[in-house]
């Protein structure tokens, strides 16, 4: 089996709704191996969120391709892409996107329940464990509107990790967190990378987090530059 979890080739995104064309991603070639942790840095508006959305198949490319676990995302229909995401991908959005009508615990259980692989009781117990790890054991029955910004962010992180996916894409995961909590999240990421070979692509402005990753890329003028 291939050691490559994510591969994108000639990935290009041009926004051309307005009067001018904006080339945000310009023919990006990029690969992530099993268990590898990658940081992506870049100034505001450089295209980091656009890139993560493309990698997750949440938005379509102008040209080029993205493969997750050797599956070409464009060759799948929306339903199949959803299944691939559920099985292989965890995603932490820049603005968390929790389901507002569900509690923290229910939000974290959701990826496991969608997989239909385990009983509800096991999903709850795994979700409780990971919520504990991110320091939220006291808040698991609260809905997102009753949580602080950083707490919501931690629920979103727990949700992305609970299913031990092949690859986790994170957009500014620790931007709202204090040093100690951020450190706990970093530790959890390192453990998962080591124990279950989860790969991470993390967009961050946090130099401490970036320095802990295996490779750091800067997104500049549509190109990913290492170092
Ligand atoms: N749907 C859209 N239509 C047109 N332009 C867009 C669209 N979405 C994003 N852009 C533009 O593409 C560029 C990249 O946006 P993106 O959100 O990827 O930046 P970013 O690097 O994530 O920034 P930040 O650090 O502020 O989150 C920006 O100039 C933005 O205005
Ligand atoms: Mg962004």
pLDDT tens profile 95-114:
778 999 999 999 999 999 99
Instruction: Kindly give the number of the ligand 1 atom that is closest to the alpha carbon of 15.
Output: 4
* Ligand 2 centroid to residue 13 C-alpha, Å: 15
pLDDT of residue 75: 92
Paired strand residues for 171 = 203
Residues in the chain: 227
The values of phi and psi at residue 196, to 5°, are: -120, 15
Burial class (CB in 10 A: 0-12, 13-18, 19+), 118: middle
Contact (Cβ atoms closer than 8 angstroms) between residue 37 and residue 200? yes
pLDDT of residue 34: 93
**Tens digit of pLDDT for each residue in 160-181?**
999 999 999 999 888 778 888 8
pLDDT of residue 54: 94
**Tens digit of pLDDT for each residue in 179-210?**
888 888 888 777 877 877 899 999 998 888 89
Average pLDDT over residues 18-35: 92
SS3 79: helix
**Which residue is it, tokens 């808040």?**
139
Q: Quote the CA–CA distance of 137 and 131 in Å, as a whole number.
A: 6
**Tens digit of pLDDT for each residue in 44-93?**
999 999 999 999 988 889 999 999 999 999 999 999 999 999 999 999 98
* Ligand 2 centroid to residue 115 C-alpha, Å: 29
Instruction: Kindly give the number of the ligand 1 atom that is closest to the alpha carbon of 50.
Output: 18
CA atoms 91, 150, 185, 134: torsion sign: negative
**Tens digit of pLDDT for each residue in 59-73?**
889 999 999 999 999
Q: How are strands ordered across the β-sheet holding 63-68?
A: 22-33, 4-15, 63-68, 71-72
| CA-closest residue to ligand 1 atom 13 | 45
How far, CA to CA in Å, does 82 sit from each of 73, 86, 88, 173, 180?
A: 10, 6, 10, 22, 34
Give DSSP secondary structure letters for 113-178.
Answer: HHHT-S-HHHHHHHHHHHHHHTT-GGGTT--GGGS-HHHHHHHHHHHHHTT--SEEEEESTTTTS-
Does the pLDDT value for residue 2 go beyond 80? no
* Ligand 2 centroid to residue 41 C-alpha, Å: 10
Could you give the percent of the chain with pLDDT greater than 70?
100
Does the pLDDT value for residue 128 go beyond 90? yes
- CA torsion angle for 42, 48, 52, 57 (degrees, to 10)? -150
pLDDT of residue 1: 58
Does the pLDDT value for residue 153 go beyond 80? yes
pLDDT of residue 18: 76
Is the CATH number of domain 4-226 3.40.50.300? yes
Does the pLDDT value for residue 42 go beyond 90? yes
Does the pLDDT value for residue 17 go beyond 80? no
């Amino acid at each position: 089996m291939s050691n490559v979890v994510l591969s994108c080739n000639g990935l290009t995104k041009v926004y051309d709704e307005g009067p001018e064309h904006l080339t945000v991603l310009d023919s990006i070639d990029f690969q992530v191996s099993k268990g590898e942790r990658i940081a992506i840095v870049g100034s505001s508006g450089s295209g980091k969120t656009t890139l993560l959305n493309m990698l997750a198949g949440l938005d379509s490319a102008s040209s080029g391709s993205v493969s997750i676990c050797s599956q070409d995302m464009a060759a799948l229909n929306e339903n199949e892409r959803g299944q691939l995401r559920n099985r292989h991908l965890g995603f932490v959005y820049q603005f968390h996107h929790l389901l507002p009508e569900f509690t923290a615990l229910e939000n974290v259980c959701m990826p496991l329940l969608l997989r239909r692989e385990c009983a509800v009781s096991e999903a709850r117990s795994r979700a409780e464990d990971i919520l504990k790890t991110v320091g939220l054991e006291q808040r698991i029955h609260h809905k997102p509107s009753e949580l602080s910004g950083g707490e919501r962010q931690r629920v979103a992180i727990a949700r992305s990790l609970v299913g031990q996916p092949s690859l986790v894409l994170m957009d500014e995961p620790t931007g709202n967190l204090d040093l100690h909590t951020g450190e706990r999240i970093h530790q959890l990421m390192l453990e998962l990378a080591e124990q279950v070979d989860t790969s991470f692509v993390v967009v961050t402005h946090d130099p401490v987090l970036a320095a802990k990753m295996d490779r750091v890329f800067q997104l500049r003028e549509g190109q990913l530059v290492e170092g």
